[in-house]
A and B are shown apart, each in its own frame.
Chain A
Amino acid sequence: GAVVSQHPSRVICKSGTSVKIECRSLDFQATTMFWYRQFPKKSLMLMATSNEGSKATYEQGVEKDKFLINHASLTLSTLTVTSAHPEDSSFYICSVLRTSGRISYEQYFGPGTRLTVT
């Protein structure tokens, strides 16, 4: 498996401010990480793929200027929600991609960050 941490676990911010969420791979070096968001009673929706040392690739409909992703090292990716609005309130979850050989590529998730924008 893999051990993934996220910080903070919960954050409340005011509308118009920015919030940074950290995702750390604790037991191996992760070239690729992913960011998902999850609304109540809904499934996970992929927001972007974060690649170490290069720009993140965003899914259709996700504003890259609003959700800034930085993957500056093999153990850390950050998601910054800029100029947050109440509709950005959600559960944000990161994952790391762990590959083994040619066919094994598994994703392990962090514990999630609950963002509430007031």
Chain B
Amino acid sequence: EDQVTQSPEALRLQEGESSSLNCSYTVSGLRGLFWYRQDPGKGPEFLFTLYSAGEEKEKERLKATLTKKESFLHITAPKPEDSATYLCAVQAPDSNSGYALNFGKGTSLLVTP
């Protein structure tokens, strides 16, 4: 059973066209929800951690929010350099390590000039 579901799978935006990526989760007792950016052939780059519903964090054009069932990554006025795959992950309490991450399949974002 999938614990983390991201949508859409792919998103194409024009430069300056704001949008949101969704991450819904079914883990009970959430320890933390994480957002990462991954460029092709690279490891994931840490963006945000959210720990409780109602929490929000911002970094440049990105803003992450969290509810009890989902998280949104809002991208305001994106630029072509924001093109990447955005990964959402939750800490998996039923893995051998309670701190290991269970990833969604990601949203591939393309921002065109």
| A residues apposed to B, CB below 8 Å | 1, 4, 6, 32, 34, 42-46, 48-49, 57-59, 91, 93, 95, 97, 103-112, 114
Contacts and interface: CB of A to CB of B under 8 A. Distances in A.
A32 B99 contact: yes
B28 interface: no
Nearest to A103: B51
B11 interface: no
Contacts of B91: 105
A5 B95 CA distance: 25
Chain B interface mostly:
loop
B82 to A, nearest CB: 19
Contact of A1 (B31, B46, B99, B100): B46
Contacts of A111: 42-43
Interface in B72-94: 87, 89, 91-92
Q: How large is the interface on B (under 10, 10 to 19, 20 to 34, 35 or more residues)?
A: 20 to 34
Contacts of A91: 41
A45 B105 CA distance: 10
A105 B91 CA distance: 10
Given A43-B87, A109-B36, A104 B97 contact: no
Chain A interface mostly:
strand
B44 A57 contact: no
Contacts, number: 71
A41 B111 CA distance: 19
B99 to A, nearest CB: 5
Contacts of B99: 32, 49, 97, 105, 107
Contact of B87 (A1, A44, A48): A44
B25 interface: no
Contacts of A106: 32, 34, 46, 49
